[in-house]
Amino acid sequence: SQTIHQWPATLVQPVGSPLSLECTVEGTSNPNLYWYRQAAGRGLQLLFYSVGIGQISSEVPQNLSASRPQDRQFILSSKKLLLSDSGFYLCAWSRPGQGIKQYFGPGTRLTVT
Amino acid sequence: AQKITQTQPGMFVQEKEAVTLDCTYDTSDQSYGLFWYKQPSSGEMIFLIYQGSYDEQNATEGRYSLNFQKARKSANLVISASQLGDSAMYFCAMREGQFGNEKLTFGTGTRLTIIP
C-alpha cells in the first residue's frame, strides 16, 4: 500500500530564517507530487507540482521554492521566511496519467514569528 | 475568477438529519472532475467522493452522494443520516488539465457542525 509522510509536523521559525519541509511517498513509482498551502480558515492553494525528478512547476510567485531530488521525495524550501509564509502545508501525490484522486499527507503547521 | 464557489462558510445540522453542502464551479474544459474532501481538526485531507464530467450517474460512496447538475455547473455533496464524526471542514475541488498534468483547484470550504 502507498503512504505519504511529511515532516516536521509543526515548526516555529523566526522571520528571515530558512525553511525546509520534506515529503516522501512510499509504495508507488513516478508519482505526481504537489505542495499546497492552507492559510488559517481558507482553502488550499496549489504552490508547486512535479511530474518527475527535477521537473517543478510553480503556480504562484512567492518566497518559496520546491525541488524533487529523488523520485518519491519532494522538498519545499525558503531562504528567508516572511510572516505571510505561516500556514498549513500539505503534500499530495497522484498516480501518473490517472490524476483522478490526490492522496494527502498529514501536513506541516508552520508559524513564522 | 473564482473557479470553485462554496457559498456556505458554516452549517449547523442536527444529528441523523441529511445535509447538503453546495458547490458551483466554472470551467471551459469538456473533461474535468469534481471532488469532495473532508478536513477534520487534525488537518488531514480525506477523500470522500469523485464525479467525472462524463459520468452520467451521480456518484455515491456510502452515506455520501454527489448531486451533479452539469448544466447548472453544480456539484453538491449530500450526507445522509449525519453523525457527530461528520463535524469538519468540507472542501469541493475541481480537476483540470491534461493527463499527467492535472491540477486541483479548491473552494474556500464549509465548516459543518453536527449538533447532538
One digit per residue, the tens of pLDDT, for chain B of length 116 reads 569 999 999 999 999 999 999 999 999 888 889 999 999 998 889 999 999 999 889 999 999 999 999 999 999 999 999 999 999 999 999 987 766 567 788 999 999 999 99
CA torsion B59-B67-A100-A25 (nearest 10°) is -90
The torsion region of residue B12 among left (phi > 0), alpha (psi -120 to 50) and beta comes to beta
| pLDDT at position B98 | 67
Q: B95, A42: Cβ pair inside 8 Å?
A: no
In which element (H, E) is residue A94 found? Answer: strand A87-95
Q: Please write the tens of the pLDDT for every residue from A54-74.
A: 999 888 767 899 999 999 999
Q: How many helices (H) and strands (E) does chain A have?
A: 0, 11
Confidence of residue A101 (pLDDT cuts 50, 70, 90): confident
Q: How close B39 comes to chain A (CA, Å)?
A: 10
Q: How close A89 comes to chain B (CA, Å)?
A: 10
Nearest to B43 among A51, A103, A106 (CB): A106
Q: How close B99 comes to chain A (CA, Å)?
A: 5
**Which of B90, B94, B88 has the alpha carbon at shortest distance from B74?**
B94
| pLDDT at position A59 | 82
Q: Enumerate the residues of chain B whose CB falls inside 8 A of the CB of residue A98.
A: 99
User: Are the CB atoms for B28 and B52 separated by under 8 Å?
Assistant: no
Q: Please write the tens of the pLDDT for every residue from A18-30.
A: 999 999 999 998 9
User: Are the CB atoms for A31 and A104 separated by under 8 Å?
Assistant: no
| Chain A residue with minimum CA distance to B44 | A106
Cell of A14: 523566526
